Structure 1
Amino acid sequence: MVLPYPYPDELLLSRLIRYLRLSGEQPSSFCLRTFNSRRVSLHPFLTGGISPIASMTNEDPDTILYTQTLAPLFLFFLPKYRNKILTSLLSNKGINIFKGKPLPTFSHRGSRILKWCSICAKENIYDYGVSYWHRTHQIPGLTSCYKHNIKLSFIKLLSRKQLIDKLLPIPNDEITYSSTLDFRLSSFCYELLSNLKNKESNINLVLLYKSRLDELGFVTKNGHLRTSKMMSEFESSFKYFPDGNKAPTNEEYDHSQYIFSSFSNNCYLHPLRYLLQSNSVFQHLLLSHWLFDDAKHLLQYDFPIKNNKHVHKSKESDYKIKQHYLTLLKSGSSLSEVHRQTGKSKNYLKTLALNNGITINSKPHFINKELHHRIVKLAKLNIHRHRIAEQCGISSGAVEQIISSEKGLASWRKQCRFESRRRCHRVCIIRYRQKYPLTIRKEIKKNCYASFMWLYKHDHQWLECNLPPPTKVKKNNRSKA
Structure 2
Amino acid sequence: MIGFFPKLYKDETLYSWLARYHIRSNNSSYKSTLSDLFMKDTIVAITDFPCNLQTLCTEIGDMYKPRYLINQHTPLPYYSPFIKRGNYEKIIDLMESTNKNRVYAVLGLPAGNVPYPRHLRYCATCFIEDVNQYGEPYWHRIHQIPGVHICPHHLEILSESSVLSKRTVSNQKFHALSESINSPIHRNNLYSDKENEVLEVVALNSLKLLQEEINPIGLPNLRNYYISKLHDKELMTATSRIKFQELLPRFINFYGKNTLKLFGSNLNIDDKDTWLHRLLRKPKSSCHPIRHILFNTFLGDDIFSYKNINIKTPYYQPFGDSPFPCLNRASEHFLKDVISTVNITICSSTKQPVGTFKCNCGFVFSRRGPDLSKEDRYKVGSVKQFGEVWLEKVEELYNDGLNYSEIARQLKSNRATIKKYLFNENQKMKQHSNDYKHKSYKAKWSNLIVRNPDLSRTKLREQLPSVYMWLYRNDREWLLTNMPPKQKGCNKDINKVSWETRDYELAKKIELEAESLKKINNDGIVRVTVRSIGRELGVISMLENEIEKLPECKLMLAKVTETLKDFQLRRIKFRAKNLRDMGIEITPSKLIRNSALSTKIDGDILNSIEEEIYTPKN
TM-score bracket, shorter-length normalisation? 0.5 to 0.7
3-state SS in 2 of match to 1:114: strand
Shift of 1:190: 0.7
Shift of 1:299: 1.7
Partner of 1:84: 90
Partner of 1:120: 126
Which of 206, 217, 229 is the aligned partner of 1:212? Answer: 229
Query: Does 2:184 align with 1:172?
Result: yes
Partner of 2:376: none
Partner of 1:316: 327
Q: Deviations over 1:56-107 (max 9, x none)?
A: 2211111111000011122221125223312211123341224589346789
3-state SS in 2 of match to 1:242: helix
- Answer whether contact 2:148 2:203 (CA < 8 A) is retained: yes
Shift of 1:126: 1.7
3-state SS in 2 of match to 1:115: strand
Query: Does 2:72 align with 1:41?
Result: no
3-state SS in 1 of match to 2:121: strand
Partner of 2:142: 136
Gap regions ≥5 residues in structure 2: 329-357, 365-384, 397-416, 441-474, 476-618
Query: Does 2:184 align with 1:182?
Result: no
Partner of 1:325: 387
Give matches, 1:28-427, under 5 Å.
28-57=31-60, 58=62, 59-80=64-85, 81-99=87-105, 102-103=108-109, 112-154=118-160, 155=162, 156-157=164-165, 159-161=169-171, 163-168=173-178, 170=181, 171-177=183-189, 178=191, 179-196=196-213, 204-239=221-256, 241-242=258-259, 253=262, 256-257=263-264, 259-261=265-267, 266-267=274-275, 269=277, 271-273=279-281, 277-301=285-309, 309=320, 315-316=326-327, 318-319=358-359, 321=363, 324-326=386-388, 327-328=390-391, 361=431, 365=435
Shift of 1:22: 1.8
3-state SS in 2 of match to 1:95: coil
3-state SS in 2 of match to 1:46: coil
Shift of 1:314: 6.4
Shift of 1:292: 4.4
Shift of 1:122: 1.6
Q: Distance in 1 between matches of 2:93 and 2:317?
A: 39
3-state SS in 1 of match to 2:147: coil
- AA in 2 matched with 1:280: H
- AA in 1 matched with 2:56: I
Q: Distance in 1 between matches of 2:278 and 2:116?
A: 32
Partner of 1:409: none
Q: Distance in 1 between matches of 2:225 and 2:116?
A: 36
Shift of 1:186: 0.5
Shift of 1:166: 4.0
Q: Distance in 2 between matches of 1:23 and 1:127?
A: 22
Q: Deviations over 1:191-216 (max 9, x none)?
A: 222111x6676893223222333333
Q: Deviations over 1:22-67 (max 9, x none)?
A: 2222321121233343232232111222211122221111111100
3-state SS in 1 of match to 2:143: helix
Q: How much is the aligned-residue C-alpha RMSD, in angstroms? A: 4.3
Which of 10, 21, 24 is the aligned partner of 1:22? Answer: 24
Scaled by the length of structure 2, the TM-score of the pair is: 0.47
Q: Deviations over 1:334-356 (max 9, x none)?
A: xxxx9xx79xxxxxx9xxxxxxx
- Answer whether contact 2:78 2:289 (CA < 8 A) is retained: yes
Shift of 1:310: 7.5
Q: Deviations over 1:110-138 (max 9, x none)?
A: 99531211221122112211111111111
- Answer whether contact 1:219 1:225 (CA < 8 A) is retained: yes
- Answer whether contact 1:111 1:159 (CA < 8 A) is retained: no
Shift of 1:275: 6.5
Shift of 1:176: 1.8
- AA in 2 matched with 1:123: E
Cα 1:111/1:281, change in 2 over 3 Å: closer
- Answer whether contact 1:88 1:96 (CA < 8 A) is retained: yes
Give the helix-richer structure, 1 or 2.
1
| Mean CA deviation greater in 16-25 or 207-216 | 207-216
3-state SS in 2 of match to 1:5: coil
3-state SS in 1 of match to 2:299: helix
3-state SS in 1 of match to 2:185: coil
Which of 7, 25, 39 is the aligned partner of 2:9? Answer: 7
Q: Deviations over 1:381-402 (max 9, x none)?
A: xxxxxxxxxxxx9xxxxxxxxx
Cα 1:163/1:112, change in 2 over 3 Å: farther
3-state SS in 1 of match to 2:120: strand
| Mean CA deviation greater in 32-41 or 42-51 | 32-41
Tell me the matched-pair count: 341
Structure number with greater Rg is 2
Gap regions ≥5 residues in structure 1: 333-337, 343-348, 350-357, 371-392, 394-481
Q: Deviations over 1:203-257 (max 9, x none)?
A: 93223222333333333332222222222222112215539xxxx9xxxx5xx33
Scaled by the length of structure 1, the TM-score of the pair is: 0.59
Q: Deviations over 1:285-327 (max 9, x none)?
A: 3223333442223323565896865755564364473583314
Shift of 1:187: 1.0
3-state SS in 2 of match to 1:62: helix
Q: Distance in 1 between matches of 2:238 and 2:205?
A: 31
Q: Distance in 2 between matches of 1:309 and 1:109?
A: 43
